[in-house]
Structure 1
Amino acid sequence: MKMIAAAIAVLSLAGTAHALEPIDGSITYKNPDVQMGFSRVPVGSTFEHHFYDNGGDHIVETYRVNPDRTLQLIFRVHREHG
Structure 2
Amino acid sequence: MKTALPVLCTLLLGACTSTASVGYSPYLEPIPGSITYGGQPRTKLTKAPIGSTFSHQFRDPFGRQVHETYMIAPDRSLLLVRRRYRDLFGFDDD
Common fold by TM > 0.5:
yes
Unaligned runs of 5+ in 1: 1-9
Unaligned runs of 5+ in 2: 1-16, 90-94
Give the ranges of 4+ consecutive aligned residues of structure 1 lying more than 2 Å apart after TM superposition: none
Bigger Rg, structure 1 or 2: 2
Cα RMSD (Å) of the superposition? 1.9
Greater relative contact order (CA < 8 Å, ≥ 6 in sequence): 1
**Equivalent position of 1:59 in the other structure:** 66
Percent of aligned pairs with the same amino acid: 42
State the Cα distance separating 1:53 from its structure 2 match.
1.0
State the Cα distance separating 1:38 from its structure 2 match.
1.1
Number of matched pairs: 68
Q: When the two structures are superposed, what TM-score results if normalisation uses the length of structure 1?
A: 0.72
Deviations 1:39-81 (A, max 9, x none): 2211110010000112211000000001110000000001111
Equivalent residues in 2 for 1:13-28, closer than 5 Å: 18=25, 19-28=27-36
Q: Which has the higher helix share?
A: 1
CA distance in 2, matches of 1:61, 1:42: 19
